[in-house]
Amino acid sequence: MNQLQGSCLCGGVRYRAALPVSHASHCYCTMCQKQHGAAAGSYANVASAGFAIEQGAHLITDTKPAWLPHA
């Protein structure tokens, strides 16, 4: 496996990202807890050159939410 694949919760947006993951982390701030509905938000950083939206790009309205301190 040399890539990751994923989607948003409804499946409208699908993406793929080439490995390797350069950094992975969990954030326990209250904004990430609310956004993910969990005790933490989990994140993985990959090179933008290997990242592609495969489906549903028209559904994305903002890729850098201003309220996320680590976005």
Whose Cβ is closer to Zn ion: residue 29's or residue 57's? Answer: 29
Three-class SS string for the chain? CCEEEEECCCCCCEEEEECCCCEEEEECCHHHHHHHCCCCEEEEECCHHHEEEEECHHHCCCCCCCCCCCC
- Residue ranges in contact with Zn ion by CB under 5 A: 27, 29, 32
Min dist CB 69 to Zn ion, Å, is 6
Whose Cβ is closer to Zn ion: residue 32's or residue 46's? Answer: 32
Min dist CB 25 to Zn ion, Å, is 9
